[in-house]
A and B are shown apart, each in its own frame.
Chain A
Amino acid sequence: MTQFGKILKFELKYYFKNKIFVGVTIFLVLVIAAVMFFPRIAGAFTKNKQSDASSELPVMLIKTDSPELTEQIDGAFGEAFTEYQVQPTSDSDNVIQDMITSDKAECAFVINDMTSYTYYVNNLSMYDQNTAVADSVLQNLFRMNAMVSAGIPVEQAGAMLSLEINHQTENLGKDQMQNYWYTYIMIFALYMVILLYGQMVATNVATEKSSRAMEVLITSAKPAAMMFGKVIASCLAGLVQLISVFGCAILFYSLNKEYWGDNPIVASIFDMPPGLLVYMLIFFVLGFFIYAFLYGAIGSTASKLEDINTSVMPVTMIFIIAFVVVMYSFGSGNVDNMLMKLCSYIPFTSSMAMFTRIAMSTVPWYAVTASIAILIVSVIGIGVLSAKIYRVGVLLYGTKPKFGAILKAVWKA
């Protein structure tokens, strides 16, 4: 086995024997399992309940002041609110309020006339659509009555009010609604893994230096072999973690697919095209290498472990800025703006920017190829430069050397 292979094996073993690494991976898999199995477990409970009392829908009270409205409104509300037991009432407002606060009813409409009502509810949910539905029901009733009194036959008025427009959308590119969630998750995973494992490389190098294990290491192995061994080991560890988490998510989803029904978000997440996974892999590996090499080089210039946090700040800042730019463009829906196009070719940002554009928009093949080619060339360049900085950096102790001094030494080496 080559020196590089031995270093890779030793470093990988370090990750897979590391309790925190194993613990975090198991924890994430358990969380994914809990989420994915939730509908099945929850379904089992609700099924039991339903068999006990099948008609236990929440109660909606309807009170109308004028008796001629009552019949019309009760019928219309009954049809519109199928998830409620719509019950007419003639109790006073106070009694109605008491019933709601004591959970005997969930909500109530006290309707004064066709154009005004009061909606009572105990806790107004963010997603409560009841007033919008009630508005539309009352509007329709009012228009219907107006049309009928103007002499239009009931059937004709009904047809006019229930007129539906047929439309078709032919999407020739990507459907952003469809791709939003899995792209979001992937960018976030890319961001987390690169940041986490990149910093691990820096800490790993600085630990070897501060414990002086470096004194023996540097005389036993070539700096390039050490740098590449470490970075690739941590990349593989990151990939293993990503694949276990995503793999388990896909496995658990397929086991529970029927219980999720047609939940649009979950369905869209697991409906990602395999081609995109390949792109994710490419951009993850290349983006990871760029940052991990930089983190490794910086780690080698720190004499003490405490220096690491401040030393890696500039690189972390570049990465965070790249993330913010991508997230902002992603949130605004315009992923093909000038900034994103520019970022797609800068090696520090392209892993996230180009990946987002591929996922959310249609990018010509030559642009994708150019972006990947620039990334590959940069990875090689930064890799070689980092190995040189590493070679100089690991032997420097004492005060932290200035960046210029390191570059000068690297140039000479």
Chain B
Amino acid sequence: MILELRDIRKSFGSKQVLDQVSFRAEGGKAFGLLGRNGAGKTTSIRILMDVFPADGGDVLIDGQPIDYRKVRIGYLPEERGLYPKKIIIDQLAYFAELKGMNHKAAVKAADYWLERLGMAEYRNKRLDTLSKGNQQKIQLITALAHNPDIIILDEPFSGLDPVNAMLLKDVVKEQIAMDKVVLFSSHQMSYIEEFCDSIAILNSGRIALHGDLHDIKRNYVRDRLVVRTEYPENIIADFGGQCSRIDDCSLLIQLAAPEEKQSVMQRLTAAYDIDEVKVFEPSLNDIFVEYAGNHTDKEDRQ
């Protein structure tokens, strides 16, 4: 299954929130939708989920306009919250039923997930008797119980302890392996890097960058080298302004041109005591700051 948003436009009043937003997410892979606060991520998700219509553009599944009666979507919103005073199994079954399951199947699915996430003992308790982390796991069940084709997880790891984060990672990997479209939205870049094959960065309602994460990294100009050594001083003295420190044992060397890469690498390994030398590839964090940062700063200042 391929989910595609094509040329989506949306404005609230005079404010244009989304402008020609297009991206593509494939089944069996995780997709990261990134952007700063107010960049238009939630609006994109809401349009994708048919909470409100776009002013223009299409939401497509395998090239055809999406049919919400056939495609099931699971959603874990960033703003968490369910019915605090209601019994957990009642509300889990209710949400699954709203997504099209019959009552019996909904209860069965909810029970499966309660067991899977180690929450079975809370089945008949009220939600507000649970800790925040456990409430979050209950909320995750509302996104998964109805066996959705598309899973949208907005900041799924926030508020989880390392053990629960590991549990969630396993669940997400399981869902990806089941050929589902998993769409992540998060500011925790490490998780996105770990899971997502492709990303889109939204900046002030426009797609600033979109594509395969590996390709994006490789397409950066390969004119910098990262050197790890116990004796950085010698290299700094020789390379002068070309060289900057990353930390105590690591240096970044700026090349005059990417073609110099091989010769400089040979020179470094021949002349100095080097533990490691490699071409610098930006982290997702660097890419994010580059593509999502400046524009919005400018707008904020305005």
Footprint of B on A, CB under 8 Å? 1, 3, 6-7, 10, 13-14, 208, 211-221, 391, 395, 408-409, 413
Question: In the complex the two chains form, is B51's CB within 8 Å of A220's CB?
Answer: no
Query: 10 tightest A-B contacts by CB?
Result: A212-B81, A215-B77, A220-B98, A212-B79, A219-B49, A211-B81, A6-B97, A213-B82, A219-B75, A221-B98
Interface centre among A213, A219, A395, A408 (most CB of B within 10 A): A219
* 10 examples of A-B residue contacts, CB within 8 angstroms: A7-B98, A14-B86, A211-B82, A212-B79, A215-B75, A216-B75, A216-B77, A216-B95, A221-B98, A395-B46
Q: Which of A14, A218, A220 is close to B99, meaning CB atoms less than 8 Å apart?
A: A220
Q: Which residues of B contact A213 (CB under 8 A)?
A: 81-83
Size of B's binding interface in residues, CB under 8 A: 25
CB distance from B14 to the nearest CB of A (A): 11
Given A216-B81, A216-B139, 19 other A-B contacts at CB below 8 A?
A: A1-B97, A1-B102, A10-B94, A14-B86, A208-B83, A211-B81, A211-B82, A213-B82, A213-B83, A214-B81, A215-B77, A216-B75, A216-B77, A216-B82, A220-B98, A221-B98, A395-B51, A409-B12, A413-B52
Main secondary structure of the interface of B (DSSP, over half): loop
Footprint of A on B, CB under 8 Å? 12-13, 46, 49, 51-52, 73, 75, 77, 79-84, 86, 90, 94-95, 97-99, 102, 139, 142
Question: In the complex the two chains form, is A220's CB within 8 Å of B95's CB?
Answer: yes
Report the separation of the CA atoms of residues A217 and B90 in the bound assembly, to the nearest whole angstrom: 14
Closest to A14 in B: B86
Closest to A226 in B: B98
CB distance from A221 to the nearest CB of B (A): 5
CB distance from B181 to the nearest CB of A (A): 16
Interface centre among A1, A3, A217 (most CB of B within 10 A): A217
Closest to A225 in B: B98
Q: Which residues of B contact A217 (CB under 8 A)?
A: 98
Report the separation of the CA atoms of residues A216 and B83 in the bound assembly, to the nearest whole angstrom: 11
Q: Which residues of B contact A211 (CB under 8 A)?
A: 81-84
Q: Which residues of B contact A220 (CB under 8 A)?
A: 95, 98-99
Q: Which of B52, B90, B102, B142 is close to A216, meaning CB atoms less than 8 Å apart?
A: B142
Closest to B48 in A: A219
Question: In the complex the two chains form, is B98's CB within 8 Å of A3's CB?
Answer: yes
Q: Which of A7, A212, A391, A409 is close to B77, meaning CB atoms less than 8 Å apart?
A: A212
CB distance from B10 to the nearest CB of A (A): 11
Closest to B143 in A: A216
Report the separation of the CA atoms of residues A208 and B94 in the bound assembly, to the nearest whole angstrom: 14
Report the separation of the CA atoms of residues A361 and B77 in the bound assembly, to the nearest whole angstrom: 57
CB distance from B289 to the nearest CB of A (A): 28
CB distance from A4 to the nearest CB of B (A): 10
Question: In the complex the two chains form, is A218's CB within 8 Å of B51's CB?
Answer: yes
Question: In the complex the two chains form, is B83's CB within 8 Å of A6's CB?
Answer: no
Q: Which of B52, B81, B82, B98 is close to A6, meaning CB atoms less than 8 Å apart?
A: B98
Q: Which residues of A contact B12 (CB under 8 A)?
A: 409
